[in-house]
């Protein structure tokens, strides 16, 4: 693998780390403008992280290693996923290891780590948030797997760079029934995985509705900064994965300087557009009642199953002809 392959991975991870807080700031600014407010500015999340990093972490008495290590593990798993997922280039040194099952397992590891930290805090809110988070995760992770499985059937592999390469060469797959069903299922799964409306409201602290916030109420200082940064990284990576799978145009398929120079701004633009559209949609959506969330996620899982069935049928029909 040439030096350009390593440069692609470095640029990809660096862009995600630098741009994740900016994406959150952009989404907040879009919501503020649509709601008739001025907003705090796109750079405000970076200011918040910088302020929190200067403060000493304080936790409740009696907490164990799960509470103390969760922020670091959350950021670490998000960074590994950012390196594996083909966001800027499909020709990287880690392309062979970028398997769908590994990526979903890393996302699940971050979720479980945060849920254990909520339980370890020993508070009622922490346990409630952890219970809700694992209920949602039990329905989201299979949906993520099944939705991408629908795209992996024509490619004959679960390797994400190979799936994206196949979509670039044969864009007709994306407008097929299987592709459209998979896109809808994956979009709902991304909303649930990142705790966005209508599944969760990241800007609320009401005990009857919060999920993610209930698990992190006891964090402060540097630990809270890492928790916030980890959530922002996961949102950026999942939106980038959605863009790479269903709008792969512009991504570099070869390790060349020209392709990388084009792919990097295209990736930034696609994620920014998706984030702005999501923020605009959240202004019009209402958060679902907690007991209605499993119905939404079960519906998305059914869409993913239909996508897999349609993809298998179309692949078999194509092989028969």
What pLDDT does 145 receive?
A: 93
For the chain, what is the domain count?
Answer: 1
What pLDDT does 205 receive?
A: 65
DSSP state of 93: T
Indicate the pTM of the whole model: 0.93
In angstroms, the CA 301 to CA 299 distance is: 5
Q: Which of 83, 78, 314, 282 is nearest to 199 (CA)?
A: 282
Mean pLDDT of the chain: 90
Average pLDDT over residues 95-108: 93
What domain range is 163 assigned to?
3-320
Residues 171-195 pLDDT 10s: 888 888 899 999 999 999 999 999 8
Residues 293-305 pLDDT 10s: 999 999 999 999 9
What pLDDT does 287 receive?
A: 85
- Ramachandran assignment for 192, one of left (phi > 0), alpha (psi -120 to 50 degrees), beta (any other): alpha
Residue 307, helix vs strand vs coil: helix
Average pLDDT over residues 39-44: 92
321 pLDDT tier (thresholds 50, 70, 90): very low
104 pLDDT tier (thresholds 50, 70, 90): very high
Q: How far apart are the first and last CA of the chain?
A: 38
Query: Picking from 26-30, 74-78, 90-94, which range would have the lowest pLDDT averaged per residue?
Result: 90-94
């Amino acid at each position: 693998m040439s030096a350009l392959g390593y440069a692609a991975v470095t640029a990809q991870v660096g862009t995600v780390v630098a741009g994740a807080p900016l994406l959150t700031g952009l989404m907040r600014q879009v919501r503020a403008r649509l709601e008739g407010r001025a907003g705090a500015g796109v750079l405000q999340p970076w200011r918040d992280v910088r302020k929190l990093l200067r403060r000493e972490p304080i936790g409740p008495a009696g907490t164990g290693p799960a509470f103390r290590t969760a922020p670091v593990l959350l950021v670490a798993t998000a960074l590994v996923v950012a390196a594996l997922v083909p966001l800027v280039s499909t020709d990287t040194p880690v392309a062979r290891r970028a398997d769908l099952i590994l990526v979903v397992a890393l996302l699940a590891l971050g979720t479980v780590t945060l849920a254990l930290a909520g339980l370890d805090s020993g508070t009622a809110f922490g346990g409630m948030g952890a219970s809700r988070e694992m209920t949602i995760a039990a329905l989201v992770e299979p949906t993520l797997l099944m939705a991408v499985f629908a795209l992996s059937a024509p490619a004959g592999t679960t390797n994400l760079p190979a799936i994206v390469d196949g979509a670039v060469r044969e864009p007709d797959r994306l407008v097929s029934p299987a592709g459209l069903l998979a896109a809808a299922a994956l979009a709902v799964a991304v909303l649930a995985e990142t705790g966005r409306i209508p599944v969760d409201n990241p800007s609320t602290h009401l005990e009857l509705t919060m999920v993610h916030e209930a698990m992190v109420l006891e964090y402060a200082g540097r630990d809270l900064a890492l928790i916030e940064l980890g959530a922002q990284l996961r949102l950026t990576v999942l939106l980038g994965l959605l863009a790479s799978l269903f709008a792969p145009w512009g991504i570099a398929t070869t390790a060349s300087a020209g392709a990388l120079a084009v792919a990097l701004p295209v990736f930034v633009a696609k994620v920014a557009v998706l984030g702005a559209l999501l923020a605009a949609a959240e202004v019009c959506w209402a958060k679902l009642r907690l007991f209605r969330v499993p119905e939404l996620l079960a519906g998305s899982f059914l869409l993913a199953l239909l996508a897999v069935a349609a993809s298998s049928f179309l692949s078999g029909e194509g092989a028969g002809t």
